[in-house]
Amino acid sequence: MISPYIKTAFRSISRNKLHSTISITGLGVGLGCVILLLALVIHEKSFDRFMPDYRNTYLINHGTSARTAYPLAEAMKMDFPEIREFFRFYQTSGIRLRDPQNKLVSENNFGFSDASIFSVLGIKFITGRPAVSKSEVAISEKTASKYFRDVNPLGSVLSVKLNDTFIGLEITGVYYDFPSNSTLFPDFIADIELSEEMFKKFQRSLGEFSDDAKTSLNWSHSDYYSYVLLEKNTDLESLASKMEKYKEYIQDERIRDREYSFQQVSRIYLGSSEIEGSFFSRRGNANELKYYGAVSLLILLIAITNYILLTRAGTADRLRELGTRKVLGASRFTIRKQIILESNLVAVISLIPAVIVIFSGIKFVNDTLGTTLTTGIFKDPCIWILFFLVMIFTGTISGFFIGSRISRIPSLVLLSGETSRSTRSGRWNSSFLVLHFTIYIILVSGVMMVSKQVKYSLSNFTGISPQNIIISELNSEELKSGFTAICNEMEKMPGVIKTAGSSFIPPFNAFLPVNLATTEGEKVRFDGLIMGEGMTELLGIEVIDGDHFGTFQETPREIILNESGATEYNIRAGDNFMGFMIRGIVKDFNAHSTHSLIRPMVILQQNPSRMGLLAIRTDGKNDKAVISRLGELYSQISPDEIFEVRYLTDQIRDFYRSETDQGRIIGVFSLLAAVLAIMGLFGIALISITKRTKEIGIRKVNGATIGEILYLLNIDFIRWALLAAVIAVPVSVYLLSEWLKRFAYNTGLSWWIFVLASFSALIIVLLTVSFQSWRAATRNPVEALRYE
């Protein structure tokens, strides 16, 4: 019985190829966006749920920090019977190692943990076992394939440079890769005690201000993630209160009074927006996910309404066919069923462009948002259930709306080729067109505002001139010792303006707290920097009192304060402050991103023989030769070190990766919204102009010019676009004002953004409608008068 309906549906679709192609493409784009988003939402909400007992596995937070002291978890295991198991975790990047061919390579995801990490997370071994001593390491399946291919790596020794020297680590096991929905993602897991080498490396980066006697394996430093597996139904508040006794071991007064809390692992990924110190794990953004979801659903709404509008436009040629069916006995139900079937068939066919959107969109979403979505998500039956529900809902609701309206029209009216003279249809059409362009204007305004703010942040760092500055790390003792010689050689190169060294170069994300203390125990905390002679001049930092650093000297110790610090403590150049001589006061500058306010800052002077990095300012004309010469010097001085350089402007750009990615995502949504709005506009214009065919003919016979006809047919659409602008601009102003609050220093809203976004909507309307209006206005009036 259904076969004739299907044949009729296919004939109807193939008869009007233009309408069908536009309808299928538009609906496919909308379906693809929503299905892709559903897959992303399911994936993002599935993080860490692969663990055998994720409901009872928790990360310990200390106040608003995810990092805790090394002994904490082990002490809890000994003191509290509620703790079934625990592991500590630390991860670092930029680790140098020698591959089996003795080639020096750099690896990022190098982790350190207790062996229990595998049992708690449920990560299985392909072969071997975890590392249980400081001379061992376990590697992931991906890493084993990368370095050993088909050879069994067990027993092989990796030469790894964790601090300043290479150490041999025996491979004890190969574990399955961590799932893509894991917040932890190490490719190497060494014994947790070996992480002490990374703390020593950080201390050495402080140069003159390091303390080699310090250790991270005590209560003095909070550097580790602490995971605990609890007994079922453990009272978390009671357990947290019993942990109060550990506060007496904490020496840092700033964090001693912070409360301990437990965060279930399945809530870490999307529930850590207020948690600091998330350096070793993946983190999502629940608010952004909701935002992208709302936009995708709006795009689906536009796609569905477009389909309805275009299908209504296409049924104008089928009114007599449907009228004949009713005269021959077809019931309202039969007509409605036929149109619903056709609509669902279009929805099924639209899966072709939808699949293209989904599979091309996965890579784009991952690259843009930093997510780990894979096609493996489609193994989840929930995806397929939602997939078919969305498709059937879209096809059925669209077909039902169109079918219900047409099935109620009397047969004689359908046979006449007209539906109704009611103005409701026009109002309905215009309301959705206004919605389409309101969404479009909001999105385009967002794209331009995000781009403007990112450009402002990149080019308006207060007090710093970051252009044409090349940075290279001094990652070996030989390079540190050869710093002065390298600088002397590089300054002979054409195009090199100045060289200088530092332990850290602003701007950078992390804050370096510096305590200035007197012998009497008085302390003052500043945001800190450690720079060498000439670095403030190289960065273009302006001195407003005193002078820049001179030649390094042990005594008297000299420091430089920024303007905010000098003002807060009423200090001038030449003063003695907390036992230090004030060399100069510099104008406030952004040492971090423009998200943060400028704080009181102290700059300490680094010993030339203990620099952590080298900076070179060039004229930008001979950079390739400058970098090549620097590489030659590095290879001569430290042949076992990988030579890497970066531009300071690239370092700054990384600060705003999130905002740049938001701009890209919004840009794609804006493009989709524009394309779908044009499709809807095409359908509405076609319906409107078709209904006025005879009117146009009569006006032309009575002397109306083509220009007058074009004005008549375009004016209503222009009014709708202007109404969309009136609605969209206040909404955009509110949303963008809220978005700008995340920046301590922002570019502010500009009126031209909203004017340009509204003007682009108006241009789209004029171009789309004028194409059809021109055809109607230049048509032979005799043909128009014969139109039925």
Decide: helix, strand or coil at residue 172.
Answer: strand
Least confident of 60-74, 372-386, 393-407: 393-407
Apex CA 230: angle with CA 227 and CA 231, to 5°? Answer: 170
Least confident of 330-334, 560-564, 633-637: 330-334
* pLDDT at residue 331 in the model: 67
Whole-number Å distance between alpha carbons of 355 and 363 = 13
Apex CA 673: angle with CA 669 and CA 678, to 5°? Answer: 155
Q: Give the position of tokens 């996910």.
A: 289
Q: Which tens digits make up the pLDDT trace of 726-753?
A: 999 999 898 888 888 877 778 888 889 9
Does residue 556 have a cis peptide bond before it, meaning omega lies within 30 degrees of 0?
yes
Higher pLDDT, residue 437 or 235: 235
* The pLDDT of residue 422 is above 50: no
Question: What average pLDDT does the segment 603-612 reach?
Answer: 88
* The pLDDT of residue 231 is above 60: yes
* pLDDT at residue 423 in the model: 44
pLDDT band at 413 (very low <50, low <70, confident <90, very high): low
Give, as one character, the DSSP assignment of residue 309.
Answer: H
* The pLDDT of residue 270 is above 70: yes
Question: What average pLDDT does the segment 213-241 reach?
Answer: 88
Question: What average pLDDT does the segment 70-99 reach?
Answer: 92
Q: What is the mean pLDDT of the chain?
A: 82
* The pLDDT of residue 649 is above 80: yes
What residues have CB less than 8 Å from 117, skipping those under 6 apart?
87, 89, 123, 130, 189, 227
At 587, list the tokens: 């104008």
Closest CA to 531 of 436, 412, 613, 432: 613
Higher pLDDT, residue 743 or 470: 470
Question: What average pLDDT does the segment 213-236 reach?
Answer: 88
* pLDDT at residue 311 in the model: 67
Question: What average pLDDT does the segment 210-237 reach?
Answer: 85
Look up the pTM and report it. Answer: 0.78
Cα 40 to Cα 47, 281, 354, 376, 660, distances in angstroms: 11, 19, 15, 12, 20
Q: How many CB atoms lie within 10 A of CB 148?
A: 17
* The pLDDT of residue 783 is above 60: no
Question: What average pLDDT does the segment 616-631 reach?
Answer: 93
* The pLDDT of residue 300 is above 50: yes
Least confident of 521-525, 616-620, 716-720: 521-525
* The pLDDT of residue 418 is above 60: no
Whole-number Å distance between alpha carbons of 681 and 313 = 11
Domain limits, the chain? 3-41+286-455+657-785, 54-267, 469-655
* The pLDDT of residue 460 is above 90: no
Whole-number Å distance between alpha carbons of 181 and 372 = 7
The single-letter code of the amino acid at 179 is P
* The pLDDT of residue 177 is above 80: yes
Whole-number Å distance between alpha carbons of 114 and 116 = 5
Q: Are 109 and 189 in contact (CB under 8 A)?
A: no
Closest CA to 720 of 771, 768, 786: 768
Q: Which tens digits make up the pLDDT trace of 239-259?
A: 999 998 888 887 766 677 788
Question: What average pLDDT does the segment 688-698 reach?
Answer: 68
pLDDT band at 485 (very low <50, low <70, confident <90, very high): very high
Q: Are 99 and 247 in contact (CB under 8 A)?
A: no
Least confident of 139-148, 160-169, 712-721: 712-721
